[in-house]
């Protein structure tokens, strides 16, 4: 490698060409991160490998990435707290008005207790606001050297975490985009009823009122009727599932997921309930449960068109992802 003073990338146009939608530093982090992770196509990987033989700045950055990967792969115990989701952190930084009530204050308090999140947040806020570093004559201050080295290490570590979080968020968004919640007139009510235990006449009337209310999009009325049925008959899977569906339509996704998950576990199973659970689990961010359910369905009914399509799409998106399921 030719001797080069490390003032910056010697070929910034390379990043502008292959990641034009990002600013230079962001493009550099993303492309070199993927290079280190061996996620680039062979042609671009070859171009970057040749570039690294000429550019000290970029080759040193890749070396730092490799060192961090060795650090993360080692037997190191890291104490951590329960950090906010990627979605809420993005809203906190860019769209605070979209956060649920009280979440902004909770994240602000969390940043006081979690140095990793604070470091990442501060770095991201200042990404596009570079500040000049004042020149000072060199002195043999070893403590200062160690402090600077530590700061550089943790800044690079934060860059990697940010890049990985962005990758995870992209995977989450693609999974959510797969999910389609049926309209009331698309639900297979006959399959739901046939796979449920029988109801006494009085309860059956309440159940039919609930179904009729759902068809007419009167979800609050449906909830009142189906709550009575499911309370009196806790193993009536159809009323529990439709109750969850109604709560989803009333913008209570977690309650909806819990009820649909409960209904799916009641025997006998129903293809309508099982497939609907996959979609609601994806919509509500319960990705691990969605993967578990679609894998079970694919094992039991590999030739079912909708099961096969969902299984292949979910598997394709999650393969090689750092998303924790």
209's tokens: 């009122």
How far apart CA 29 and CA 220 sit, in angstroms, is 49
pLDDT confidence of residue 215? 95
The CA–CA distances, whole Å, from 15 to 10, 27, 199 equal 11, 6, 66
Residue 189: half-sphere exposure toward Cβ, Cα within 13 Å: 16
**Closest by CA position to 214, among listed 192, 195, 187:** 187
Q: How far apart are CA 274 and CA 264, in angstroms?
A: 6
The 3-class SS string of 49-65 reads HHHHHHCHHHHHHHHHH
184-318 sits in which CATH class? mainly alpha
Non-local CB neighbours of 301 within 8 Å, separated by 6+ positions: 271, 307
Please state, in angstroms and rounded to a whole number, the distance separating the CA atoms of residues 14 and 153: 25
pLDDT at 217: 95
Residue with tokens 């649909």: 260
Delimit the domains of the chain by residue range: 1-77, 81-178, 184-318
The tens place of each residue's pLDDT in the chain, 325 residues long, gives 444 444 678 888 888 888 887 788 877 888 888 888 788 889 999 999 999 999 998 888 888 777 665 544 554 444 344 677 767 777 777 778 878 777 888 888 878 877 777 777 776 666 555 555 554 555 555 555 555 566 666 666 565 555 556 667 778 888 888 888 989 999 999 999 999 999 999 889 999 999 999 999 999 999 999 999 999 999 999 999 999 999 999 999 899 999 999 998 898 888 888 989 999 999 888 988 889 999 989 888 889 998 999 899 898 888 866 666 6
- Residue 254: other Cβ atoms inside 10 A: 12
pTM of the model: 0.50
Please spell the DSSP secondary structure of 32-88, one letter per residue. Answer: HHHHHTT-S-HHHHHHHHHHHHH-HHHHHHHHHHHHHHHHHHSS-------PPPHHH
First to last CA, the chain: 43
User: Quick one: which H or E segment has residue 292?
Assistant: helix 287-300
- Identify the residue whose tokens are 């308090």: 109
């Amino acid at each position: 490698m030719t001797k080069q003073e490390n003032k910056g990338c010697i070929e910034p146009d390379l990043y502008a060409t292959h990641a034009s939608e990002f600013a230079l530093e962001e493009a550099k982090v993303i492309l070199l991160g993927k290079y280190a992770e061996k996620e680039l196509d062979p042609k671009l990987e070859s171009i970057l490998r040749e570039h690294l033989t000429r550019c000290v700045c970029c080759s040193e950055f890749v070396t730092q990435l490799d060192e961090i990967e060795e650090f993360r792969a080692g037997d190191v115990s890291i104490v951590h707290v329960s950090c906010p989701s990627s979605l809420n952190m993005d809203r906190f930084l860019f769209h605070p008005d979209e956060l649920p009530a009280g979440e902004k204050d909770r994240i602000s308090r969390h940043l006081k207790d979690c140095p990793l999140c604070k470091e990442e947040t501060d770095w991201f806020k200042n990404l596009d606001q570079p500040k000049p570093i004042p020149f000072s004559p060199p002195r043999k201050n070893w403590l200062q050297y160690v402090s600077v080295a530590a700061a550089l290490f943790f800044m690079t570590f934060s860059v990697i975490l940010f890049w990985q979080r962005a990758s995870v968020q992209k995977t989450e968004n693609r999974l959510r985009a797969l999910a389609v919640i049926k309209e009331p007139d698309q639900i297979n009510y006959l399959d739901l009823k046939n796979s449920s235990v029988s109801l006494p006449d009085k309860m059956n009337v309440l159940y039919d009122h609930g179904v009729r209310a759902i068809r007419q999009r009167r979800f609050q009325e449906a909830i009142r009727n189906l709550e009575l049925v499911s309370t009196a008959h806790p193993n009536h899977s159809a009323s529990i599932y439709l109750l969850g569906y109604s709560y989803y339509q009333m913008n209570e996704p977690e309650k909806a997921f819990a009820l649909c998950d409960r209904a799916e576990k009641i025997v006998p199973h129903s293809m309508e309930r099982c497939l609907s659970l996959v979609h609601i689990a994806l919509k509500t961010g319960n990705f691990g449960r969605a993967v578990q359910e679609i894998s079970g369905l694919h094992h039991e009914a590999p030739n079912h068109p909708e099961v096969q399509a969902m299984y292949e799409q979910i598997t394709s998106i999650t393969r090689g992802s750092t998303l924790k399921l």
